[in-house]
A = this chain, B = another copy of it.
Amino acid sequence: MKEFKVGIIGFGTVGAGVASCLLKNADVIAKRTGITPVLAGIADLDIETDRGVVVPKELLTTDASAMIRNVDVVVELIGGTTIAKKFILEALNAGKSVVTANKALLAEHGEELFAAAEKNNADLYYEASVGGGIPIIKGLREGFSGNRISRMYGILNGTCNYILTRMEKEEIDFAPVLKDAQQLGYAEANPSLDIDGFDTAHKASILASLAYGKWLGMDPVYVQGIRDITLADIKNADELGYKIKLLAIIKQSEQGEVEVRVHPAMIPKTTQLAAISGVFNGVMVTGDYVGDTLFYGRGAGREATASAVVGDIVDIGRNIVNKAARRIPGFMEGIQYSRIKPMDEVDSRYYLRVQVLDVPGVLEKVAGILSKNGISISSMLQREGQKHSNVTMLIITHCTKEKAIRSAIAEINGLPDVRNSVNLIRIEDI
């Protein structure tokens, strides 16, 4: 039985889950794979607090650097982009392979980290960074290696999906659901990273990097969160046959242009993606040979994330015992796109909610602005507003460029009879 030593940096929720999995399932891992990951150390500044996992005392240390020197694989579970980066680089530069779940760090500094891994002939694996326990990185990087990836759709943030699902099922508006989610621990006290779409954007950047061969970083990723989604939007979407999800959308055109965007989107409610509710995640991947596929599972949480981290540990262990480090490169071999498409050039259908004063001629003005911008209307519905002097216009457009819709919305917002800013939700017919 070939053994290799594993050290964990960061004894928080996920760290405790990984320790638990390595200790509890060591036998089944050994039986299946012929190798045994041995938990050799856990480094944290706080080694006193009970994490609900029984760990031999002598494994705990406050000296991460000493632990790094003593193990074969380093698991970074601190989070954040400063100390985590320091330790990952320290490990890689010592020739140790690294497993991380740190999506923010990879999205922002992936290029530097992967260069360090390559230079030191070490592996840097990150299955847990996207989709929790779902083996989407492995699927994309290995399972679909024969495919050109034409598009990916991801529901990648459990907090947002939980909030949108509760708004829909319980018919409550955004603010009270968020508050309740915070009390229940499903949303952070500062929820911005999740609900403003940044967490999903980090994951979208990683998926796009994997699919198209270069670490993209965050600059090319369009990000918009779910704060402006109202219960009215969800109900309107339902009537039109859609559900609203915070979606990561990654597409490559036949000309090789790539778009990466994160925003709420209306998707047909009969699709498998639309059925993903609560804290679950899902990723749809379409390849030229494999066609449409979907991966679904728990996107976060102690156990699910631990499952992905341990999968990576075992994979690296297989490389170690076979002397096959760098068997899988960091996807920096060759760029497979012509350029990143700016958001202005993206094509979409749009849902617009416009609240106007109930006076003659306003519909004509709105329609005129859309027409002037070359936008054709697919359907229109006018509703009484909450105040009887207001009406709500719902407009669904045909496919048009983002630039045109933004220009039209700016003009509509400038009309004297418009009460609030136009609410826009993009429609993805999938």
Contacts and interface: CB of A to CB of B under 8 A. Distances in A.
A175 interface: no
Interface string A243-268: 00000000000000000000000000
A93 interface: no
A119 to B, nearest CB: 16
Contacts of A291: 133, 297-298, 301, 303-304
Interface in A211-246: 213
Interface stretch (A60-68, A80-88, A163-171, A325-333): A325-333
Nearest to A309: B146
B311 A146 contact: yes
A146 B296 contact: no
A21 B303 contact: no
A189 interface: no
A12 interface: no
Name the prevailing secondary structure of the A interface residues: mixed
A415 interface: no
A17 interface: yes
Given A25-B288, A296-B296, A318-B327, A142 B138 contact: yes
A139 interface: yes
A31 interface: yes
Contact of A296 (B22, B288, B294): B294
Contacts of A287: 133, 307
A148 interface: yes
Nearest to A298: B291
Interface residues of A, number: 67
Contact of A133 (B134, B289, B303): B289
A28 interface: yes
A28 B335 CA distance: 9
Nearest to A322: B324
Contacts of A21: 146, 289
A321 B287 CA distance: 26
B296 A297 contact: no
Interface in A130-179: 133-135, 138-139, 141-148
Contacts of A311: 142-146
B329 A293 contact: no
B322 A146 contact: no
A294 B293 contact: no
A295 B283 CA distance: 10
A356 to B, nearest CB: 39
Given A289-B303, A303-B290, A307-B147, A142 B315 contact: yes
A388 interface: no
A398 B134 CA distance: 34
A46 interface: no
Q: Which 6 A-B pairs have the closest CB atoms?
A: A135-B143, A146-B310, A31-B334, A293-B297, A324-B324, A290-B307
